[in-house]
């Protein structure tokens, strides 16, 4: 009997790695299929939101730094 997707244990390192690869759009089908079977979808969504916010904040800081130094 398989564990429901939302009850799978969370592996943060694997989740972050999968989300970062998805940001790049580079993922082998075999790795994607493995992630679908192993990762908790709620943790993947939460990680994606957090990493997206961090990316946007980083871009804003870079733009602010470039504009301020001009």
**What is this structure's pTM?**
0.79
Residue by residue, pLDDT tens for the chain (70 residues) are 566 766 777 788 999 999 999 999 888 899 889 888 889 999 999 999 999 999 999 999 999 999 998 7
Owning domain of residue 63: 5-68
The whole-number pLDDT of residue 7 equals 72
The whole-number pLDDT of residue 5 equals 66
Would you call 48 helix, strand, or coil by DSSP? helix
Task: Count CB neighbours of 65 within 10 A.
Answer: 9
Number of domains in the chain: 1
């Amino acid at each position: 009997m398989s564990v429901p997707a939302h009850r799978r244990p969370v592996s943060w390192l694997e989740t972050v790695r999968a989300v970062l690869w998805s940001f790049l759009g580079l993922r082998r089908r075999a790795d994607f299929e493995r992630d679908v079977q192993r990762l908790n979808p709620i943790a993947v969504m939460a990680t994606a939101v957090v990493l997206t916010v961090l990316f946007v904040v980083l871009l804003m800081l870079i733009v602010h730094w470039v504009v301020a130094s001009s």
